Amino acid sequence: MNAAALSFKPNNHFDSAETVGRTYGQDSLQAPDILAAIERACTRIAPLWPLQQFVAVNPFLGLSDRSFAEACEFSARMGQGEMLMPASFYAEQYRRGYIQDADISQAMQQTGSNRSLQQCLIELQNLPSHDTALPGNPCYTLADHLDAEHGSQWALLITDEISKWCAAYFDQGQSAWRMPWRGLPLYAAWRRAAAFDRTPELAGLSAFRQTISALPEQPIEAITRILAAMGLPSARLDDACHRQLLTVAGWSAWVRYKHWQASPEQTQDALLQLLAIRLSYDYALISAVASLQDVETWRDHWQDAPLANTDTGAALEIRHIMQSAYELATQRPLFEKLASALASASPHQADRKNLQAVFCIDVRSEIYRRALETQSNTIETLGFAGFFGFPIEYIALGHHQGQPQCPVLLKPKFRIRESVSDADVGELSDILEKRWLRKRLNRLWKGFKNSAVSCFSYVEISGLSFAGKLLSDSLGLTRPVVKPGIAGLDKHIVHRIGPVITRQRGRLIAKGPVVETGIALGDRIELARKALQGMSLNEGFARLVLLCGHGSSTVNNPYAAGLDCGACGGHSGEANARVAAAVLNDREVRAGLSTQGLTIPKDTWFVAGLHDTTTDEVRLFDLDQIPHYFSEDLLLLRRWLDQASQLARQERAPGLGLANDDAASLTRAVSKRSRDWSQIRPEWGLAGNIAFIAAPRTRTSHFELNGRVFLHNYEYRQDTDAAILSLIMSAPMVVASWINLQYYASTVDNRRFGSGNKALHNVVGTIGILEGNGGDLRVGLPWQSLNDGKILRHEPVRLTVVIEAPAEMIEQVLANHAEVRQLVDNQWLHLTRIDPFDNCCYRYIQQHWQAVTDYGRER
């Protein structure tokens, strides 16, 4: 970066930052006030999970106590990001007839606008087409203000510098040379590094090292001194701290995650240290670059009137009305289908099924469920959270720690280890020793290839020997890397590996600590009971019950975990399905359930499976444990699954740009995509999600939902105390909302809430992504996961929730769960219910139910 572009000569330069503090009389700031402001700022930051466990997170998590409309204004004002599409988007939807006049009128009614339809359309037409930025944003950092006034690039430099040091400090093993001060707290480590770093001074920030060394060693003391020097109004300190953190929003989110499962105090302390680092750079600008007039002008910006009183606030209001109208238009086809299904709903079939298949509520499962149901009228599918109610930490063979296999809102309660079936102690020891030897050799070989002294000579000498492998990988004929779960294992061993569910105590690795794994019988019975009740599967068991988790097959894709099961913490659902099936097949568990009035027939068997959402193949597990008298049922199941996979691939093919004439060619094509290291869209993930439905499958089985709806089975008649509904609304519904809002945010403002262009991604520290070779840690989804190059593949709408239950049951849940009520009342999602008595839909608006008629328009 050109240093001349960063620096300028101020007109009224002064000697020290303390001069400004004395000028504004802010030396009276107290630590408790600072800490309170920091705590408020920290709660606005949503966590960012690492790539290995990448799960969808609501980026507006810290704003959920505000209404959606208020959050739109606040987010834009703070520079956090735009929460609405540009005016041109809504104008185009109206021009082509997608948004209708009735939608706009209804949206104005819901938002409380007193405009006429004509006024709204005129104002929409007069808005700038694409410019959504706020003119004269008062919530600037000092670096932002100097850049705007003088054309410098201090904000960019500061973000790059902080990102550089955070990447070194938080690195999880990617770098060959580690930061020597990683054992110190973040702020202390950065001060040690800054003492040697001349980059800011070379960029024009004179005496930077001396300025930083003169700051207090404790971060809270440093923050207090800096804020006093800045002279910001005490009433805006929380906004000022929040804005500082937003300039390194990605790293702020990562720090927030680091202590997400620890304690609020630790989270506050970690973000406090990052805040101290960011403020230190603005402090250095006050000391060396900014004039007194610059600081005074910047400070005055923080005294500006609220945005709602400006023309920009009025423009936001129009866009908010149009966003609501757009969402009403998107809901119309869904309510049209529901109205048709409600009118023709048939009684529940009492005949025993040959197969019940339980899938994750993930929207991709909807396509496969429909395909499977067409195979026979003796098949019933159900929707349930993909971890199947088993919050476990799954420890892979030869490891002493595992990964959480449950939604991020939960913590694992049980540790499950892998073992090799029918292996004695000697064989198991040999397998473990061989696996770790191979892994160590692979690490040494990788270290040699990447080392500074050997990388070039290695390529010169050995490069041609890899030509064949490089060619086959490039053509998608082979997989560039082995799947981590089977790395270091012989092929004939892989199929013998499975979970051990019984309670055991011992070492998982040589010389490791003694740990307890497995699940005690009483806990297994309780988990099984809750899982079956959550599936609304208390009776009428089929001969085979398939518990089908899901995962995705991709290579060279840092966001691979984002395509796996969110309910399993960004992992595939294989482990949960196998553990759940093993528990439900356990004779002792069934005996315990029978004493509680829940009887599983002796001729019912639970089978674990995994749906690969890239290839639409379903793999079955632990088949050697299935009794021989299920052999014909198993053959029939395999045939049904093969045919359903073919139908699902054919339905998804056009969206992937594949021809679907020849089934065999299509199968090869999707399989090749899963191995293609240049493929930027191996599948579409959860793009297009618009709704969450909790109801019996009979409500939705008569029509196509096009892979856009989360489907959760729910029978309110089996839920007399609303306990199951409470669980659904406080867990799966919230997770679905998180997913929806992440896709929404990444679409409306990918620059701030997304991760940009996949082709420019670089993995940093195995933690996350940089777009290019610098800048902030990116959050959210890449643009290629949302847009096919021509049109948006994800419509930016808030989630529509449809629940079949009496009004009083839903209202009871809202009354008992403040966070859920907050999501609903503040319009972060749209709540609708199907009344089981009159078969009509009702929308929840301002704490009242309003009938939905005429395909989504209220009466």
The number of residues making up the chain comes to 859
State the Cα–Cα distance between residues 799 and 112, nearest whole angstrom: 21
Distance, in Å, from the CA atom of 408 to the CA atom of 566, rounded to the nearest integer, reads 8
Distance CA(535)–CA(388), nearest Å, equals: 9
- Contact assessment for residue 387 and residue 630, using Cβ atoms and an 8 Å cutoff: no
Q: How would you classify residue 327: left for phi > 0, otherwise alpha for psi between -120 and 50, otherwise beta? A: alpha
SS (H, E, C) 441-500: HHHHHHHHHHCCCCHHHHHHHHHHHHHHHHHHHHCCCCCCCCCHHHCCCCHHHHCCEEEE
Amino acid at 758: K
Amino acid at site 707: G
Binding residues: 360, 362, 550, 565
| Gap between the Cα atoms of 670 and 235, Å rounded | 57
Give the alpha-carbon dihedral of 180, 183, 185, 191, to 10 degrees.
-20
3-state helix, strand, coil in the chain (%, to 5): 50, 10, 35
Residue 493 half-sphere exposure toward CB, CA atoms < 13 A: 18
Q: Identify whether the C-beta of residue 326 lies closer than 8 Å to the C-beta of residue 90.
A: yes
Bridge partner list, 516: 505
Dist. CA 424–CA 533, nearest whole Å: 38
3-state secondary structure of 274: helix
Whether the CB-CB separation of 212 and 194 falls below 8 Å is answered with: yes
- CA 755, CA 59: separation in Å to the nearest integer? 13
Alpha carbon distance 299, 432 (integer Å): 63
Q: Classify residue 526 by burial, with Cβ atoms within 10 Å: 0-12, 13-18, 19+.
A: middle
Distance CA 351, CA 371 (A): 21
Q: Would you give the DSSP letter of residue 563? A: G
Among positive and negative, which fits the CA dihedral 762, 763, 764, 768? positive
Alpha carbons within 13 angstroms on the beta-carbon side of residue 129 total 1
Give yes or no for a contact between 390 and 583, defined as CB atoms under 8 angstroms apart: yes
Instruction: Please give the annotated binding residues for Zn(2+), written as ranges.
Output: 360, 362, 550, 565
Report residue 726 CA to chain centroid gap.
Answer: 23
Q: Give the C-alpha distances (Å, rounded to integers) separating 326 from 83, 98, 761, 824.
A: 14, 8, 32, 19
